[in-house]
Amino acid sequence: MRPRFRQSMSWLHTWSGFVFAWLLFFIFITGTAGYFENEIDRWMKPEIAIVNEPIDDLAILDIAQQQLTDNAEDATQWYISYPSARNPYIDISWLQPANKETGARRQWYEKNLAPDTSELITTRETSGGEALYRLHYSLHYVPIVVGYLVTSLATMLMLIGLVTGVIIHKKIFIEFFTFRANKGLRSWLDIHNIFSVLPLPFHLMITYSGLILLMGISFAPVVDATYGEGKKMHRQLYNETQAENLTKEVIALPAENLSLESALIDAKSRFKDQAVSYLGLIDRNTEQPGFEVWFGAQEGIELATLFTYRAVGGQVQIEQATGKKYSAAEVYDVLEHLHEGLFADTYLRWLYFLSGLLGAGMIATGMIIWVQKRKKQQSRFINVIDKLNAAVVVGLPIGIAAYFWANRLLPVEMASRAHWEMNSLFIVFALCSCFCVTRAAEKAWQNMLWLAAVAYALIPLVNMLTTKHSILSSLQNNDWLMLGVDLSMLVFAGGFAVTAIVLQRRSVIGSANAHIKQTVKGI
């Protein structure tokens, strides 16, 4: 039973990994980029004003509320974003209801405010870091539900690959510390093991939580059979599951005096040392608008603590959520928060990022091993897979570099600018694939790595030439986000260059060895 079990699990590991390997690599890379979506957003909107000196909370409320009154009179919700470490700017956003006359859909608008002039800043039209991260579950150029279902299926196969990988792994703790260099396939396997076992808790968490985040869609028939069919019933169940335990406290503030200012002042008096992250005005078009004050949470894996002030029956009461009503929903929340990592501070965030890259590396080395094991067969199909591996593993990062290049190079007034930035990613990705197919497999890898190194190394230069942000000026202005992205681009470029050099040296040694062998045989 045992050898056959191991064999069948080994087969399953190989093929469940193979089927969606490229898509899963795409999902891991774009999702991992998402851990720095705020920073990428800042880089892609160089016009945004950075707030470095602390500004009085009420002063921010003043200028933000003025702009909201001028621009968002009919909005059902208003939000003001206060400067924080990852978002050092003042933002206003509002939810504009659907307009039956113009046919405009209900949608959110977001604008950045310059603290010195109190004016709205027009930024270039871009989908930013957020769009990059959304690729990892909605894909692109396909209807959103198709994206959800395909990524869910791929993730299910990922889970199967992970679990079968653990099953077939013989000496999981010893091999954790083993790396035998220069031994061809054995070395690739060792690297694959390290990339898989070292961050194994992360891989299992991210895969399972990814599955449950889309469970309402992938297992929609379950909702149909247990709750009800149709969009309305599904939405009703969703709203039901999100129900929270609310504590309500009546306070001394007179109902007529309830406003954002009074709510802010009261909330700050209760939470003296906490920084305000958002103010919100919800249900603006109803009898009982809610005045929200958000504080960055100080512990656990929640992102923020929220107080909602409402005038109810002549009195003002504060609502605070103390957890979800349903315990299963709490479990779901924990997994959701772990997946998104919104709570993570700088160091933990880099750990998330690194773990994601290791996951992508796990998939990439898996694809490489699949080809290496079959190289002796000398089939054209294996050869094409080898070349396309290079196209995906290195071509996708090059595509992402193209996304950043397009952000700087496309004219600011261009129509559908955001769409064309994303198109650039995929156009360059496709071009890389075409290029790789025409080259010999080994050359394909080397060329792509050098191309990636150059593409990333030049990004800070393009930044400097097209905007007023250079590495030096970012240092001087304490623009850490801009600086961080620029420097990271250089680090990635270095990584690609080093890999290209290592590969080149290896191929020189390899061909020299082959030459010697042939000469010896001839004698």
- Residue ranges that bind another protein, judged by CB under 8 A: 4-5, 8-9, 11-12, 156, 159-160, 163-164, 208, 211-212, 215-216, 219, 221-223, 225-227, 237, 240-241, 326-329, 331-332
CA torsion angle 180 183 185 190 (round to 10): 10
- The single-letter DSSP state of residue 104 is B
Q: What is the closest distance, in whole angstroms, from the C-beta atom of residue 220 to another protein in the complex?
A: 10
Question: Looking at beta carbons only, is 159 or 418 nearer to another protein?
Answer: 159
- Report d(CA 98, CA 465) in Å as an integer: 41
- The single-letter DSSP state of residue 171 is S
Question: Looking at beta carbons only, is 7 or 257 nearer to another protein?
Answer: 7
Q: What is the closest distance, in whole angstroms, from the C-beta atom of residue 196 to another protein in the complex?
A: 17
Question: Looking at beta carbons only, is 223 or 406 nearer to another protein?
Answer: 223
Q: How far is CA 497 from the centre of its chain?
A: 25
Question: Looking at beta carbons only, is 249 or 330 nearer to another protein?
Answer: 330
- Report d(CA 25, CA 361) in Å as an integer: 8
CA torsion angle 345 346 349 353 (round to 10): 180
Other CB atoms closer than 10 Å to residue 505's CB: what's the count?
10
- Report d(CA 277, CA 90) in Å as an integer: 10
Question: Looking at beta carbons only, is 215 or 508 nearer to another protein?
Answer: 215
- Report d(CA 149, CA 330) in Å as an integer: 25
Question: Looking at beta carbons only, is 153 or 464 nearer to another protein?
Answer: 153
Q: Could you give the 3-state DSSP secondary structure of residue 308?
A: strand
Q: What is the closest distance, in whole angstroms, from the C-beta atom of residue 212 to another protein in the complex?
A: 5
Residue 408 phi/psi, 5-degree rounding, is -85, -30
Strand order in the sheet with 77-81: 120-121, 107-113, 90-96, 77-81, 276-282, 290-296, 304-312, 315-324, 244-254
Q: What is the closest distance, in whole angstroms, from the C-beta atom of residue 248 to another protein in the complex?
A: 22
What residue has token string 């994303």?
422
Question: Looking at beta carbons only, is 217 or 462 nearer to another protein?
Answer: 217
Q: What is the closest distance, in whole angstroms, from the C-beta atom of residue 5 to another protein in the complex?
A: 5
Q: What is the closest distance, in whole angstroms, from the C-beta atom of residue 323 to another protein in the complex?
A: 14
Q: What is the closest distance, in whole angstroms, from the C-beta atom of residue 374 to another protein in the complex?
A: 17
- Contact call for residues 305 and 316 (beta carbons, < 8 A): no
